[in-house]
Structure 1
Amino acid sequence: MRNLALGPGTRVTLHFSLRLPDGELIDSNFERDPATFTVGDGNLLQGFEQAIFGLQEGDRKTVVIKPEHGFGQRNPNNIQEIPRGQFDAGLQLEEGLVLSFADAQKTELPGVVKRFNDDVVTIDFNHPLAGRDIVFEVAILKIEPAQVH
C-alpha cells in the first residue's frame, strides 16, 4: 500500500456507486470490475473528482454531490418544441423515449420526449440527472502516479 493521495497527476482504480437521495441506484460497479482512470482525463466529472481528492488506498467515502458540481442545474432553454412533421412518420412516440439528435457541429445529443400531440413534440435536452443531488460512494483500491505520454 502506497502513501500516495488521490489528486492531479494520479491514476486511480476504484469502485463507485451513484444513487439518488431516496436510495434509487443509478449506477454502480461494486459488483463488477473496478474502474481505472487518470485524474483529469474526463472520465469522471470534475466535481466528483474533487470530492475524493486526498483519499488514499483503502479509503471509502460517501458524499452528496450538489447539481452545480455534478450534472448541472436544469435549464428551461434546453426544452425544445419540434414540429411533429420533422419526425419519421413510423416512429412510435411515447413519453420518456430517448431520441438521438445532432447539433450544429454534428455532435450526438440525446433528448427525452416529454409530451407530444399531432402538431408538436416537446423534447428535453437536459441531462436526466440535472438538478438532482447525487449520493456518490467510492472505495479506493489503488492509486499510482499517472504515466505522462
Structure 2
Amino acid sequence: MSVITRDSAVTMHFAIKLEDGSVADSTYQMGKPAKLVIGDGSLSESFEACLLGLKAGDKNSVELKAIDAFGLPNPDNIHHMDRAKFVGEAQVEVGTIMAFNGPDGMEIPGIITEIAGDSVTVDFNHPLAGRDVTFDVEIVSID
C-alpha cells in the first residue's frame, strides 16, 4: 500500500478548527474531498508535513501554532484607502470581504476592518493569520 510522499497526488477530507472548536474550513461541509499534489503550493509545508507517511484510510489530527498554519499577521498587509474608491461598490461596512486587484493583476481578498471618515482600512492578511488551528485530515486515496 502506498504512503504519501513528495509529489503524491492525494485525495482527502479535512477540517480546520479554531481554538474554540469551531470549524473555519471543511471539505466535509461541501461533501467533496480536496485533491492536491504534495509540494504544489496548495498547502503550507507544515500542513504537508502532517500528511507525509499516511496511507489511504488513515486519519490524523494535528495542532498547529499560528506561525506554522497561516502565519502571523503582517502590518504591511493593512492598507488605508480613500472611501471615494468604493463609490458604486457594494455597501462598505466593517467585516465585509472584498476582492481587490493586486499588483500582479490577480484578485486578492481584503477584509474591511475600520471606517473613519473618508478612510477605509483594509486587511489583506489571511483571515486565519495569527490563529492556532487543529488540522483534522482523512486520506481518501493516493495516486
TM-score (norm 1): 0.85
Alpha-carbon distance in 2 for matches of 1:15, 1:90: 36
Q: 1:25 corresponds to which residue?
A: 23
Counterparts in 2 of 1:104 and 1:34: CA distance versus 1, 3 Å: closer
Alpha-carbon distance in 2 for matches of 1:18, 1:101: 25
After superposition, the C-alpha distances for 1:19-58 in whole angstroms (9 at most, x for unaligned) are: 1021111122235122222211233332211122111222
Q: Which runs of 5+ in 2 are unaligned?
A: none
Q: Percent identity?
A: 39
Counterparts in 2 of 1:109 and 1:34: CA distance versus 1, 3 Å: closer
* Letter of the structure 1 residue corresponding to residue 138 of structure 2: A
Give the C-alpha shift of residue 139 in structure 1: 1.1
Alpha-carbon distance in 1 for matches of 2:63, 2:113: 28
Q: 1:41 corresponds to which residue?
A: 40
Match status 1:10 vs 2:11: no
Give the C-alpha shift of residue 133 in structure 1: 1.0
Q: Which runs of 5+ in 1 are unaligned?
A: 145-149
Which has the larger Rg? 1
Alpha-carbon distance in 2 for matches of 1:101, 1:10: 34
TM-score (norm 2): 0.89
Greater shift, 85-94 or 133-142, is seen at 85-94
Give the C-alpha shift of residue 8 in structure 1: 0.7
Q: How does 1:1-149 map to 2 (within 5 A)?
A: 2=1, 4-30=2-28, 32-88=31-87, 91-144=90-143
Counterparts in 2 of 1:132 and 1:98: CA distance versus 1, 3 Å: same
After superposition, the C-alpha distances for 1:80-139 in whole angstroms (9 at most, x for unaligned) are: 111222221564211101111112221212111111133211111111000111110011
Greater shift, 26-35 or 54-63, is seen at 26-35
- Matched length: 142
Counterparts in 2 of 1:91 and 1:143: CA distance versus 1, 3 Å: closer
